[in-house]
Amino acid sequence: MTAARARSIYRPPWRIDLDLRPGIDAPLGAGAIGRLVAAALDATGAPAPASIGVILSDDVELARLNAEHMGADGPTDVLSFPLLPPEWFAAAAPDPVVPRPPGTRLHLGDIVVSVERAEEQAVTGHGGQTGDVRWSVADEVRLLVVHGTLHICGWDHADPVEEAAMRALERRLLEEDRASVGRSG
């Protein structure tokens, strides 16, 4: 069994701590993950400088976390564990005053993605925001990383108005990322 692999990606003012669990192969490069998370943090007005954790895992871990934290059986594709209240992400919110040692970052929370679930959803045509999209595993992970980051920043899809706004922002961020990669590649 391979050991977990971790690295920090710096996209000032953000540090994205990426952790690949043992046996997990990332279908998306660390740079792309960092770029997507940073774009979502920028778009939501997250307090900066800050760090966020992204863990790429499997269905076993997501099922355990889903049961423990959400009271739901079975795996899910992404779980987010925000550490700050949603109002800290509002565009008009003042920078939160959080006592911490100089030179340290505020940690916003952690996202855990099941690469196994992303693969299943992508290849069976159950991916995307609507659950009826067949696309690459990398595209499904891109969506899940953005979706999880938006949850960290207080976005939700509990009612139709919130869901429409969240889905629109996800689409915009993914389209902008695809366009920027096209221009630079």
What stretches of the chain adopt beta strand conformation (E)? 5-11, 14-20, 50-57, 78-82, 106-114
- Domain total for the chain? 1
* pLDDT beyond 60 at 1: no
pLDDT tens column, 98-124: 667 777 889 999 999 999 999 999 999
Element (H, E) at 112: strand 106-114
> What pLDDT is recorded for position 91?
59
The answer to whether 26 and 20 are in contact (CB under 8 A) is yes
Q: Structure tokens of 133?
A: 């999209």
pLDDT tens column, 64-78: 999 999 999 999 999
pLDDT tens column, 14-46: 999 999 999 999 999 999 999 999 999 999 989
**CATH number of the domain that residue 47 is part of:** 3.40.390.30
Q: Structure tokens of 43?
A: 């778009």
The answer to whether 75 and 59 are in contact (CB under 8 A) is yes
Of 61, 27, 58, 9, give the one whose Cα is nearest residue 141.
27
Host domain of residue 33: 5-184
The answer to whether 102 and 90 are in contact (CB under 8 A) is no
The answer to whether 118 and 64 are in contact (CB under 8 A) is no
What stretches of 14-57 adopt beta strand conformation (E)? 14-20, 50-57
Alpha carbon distances (Å) from 36 to 2, 28, 43, 89, 177: 27, 11, 11, 17, 7
pTM of the model: 0.91
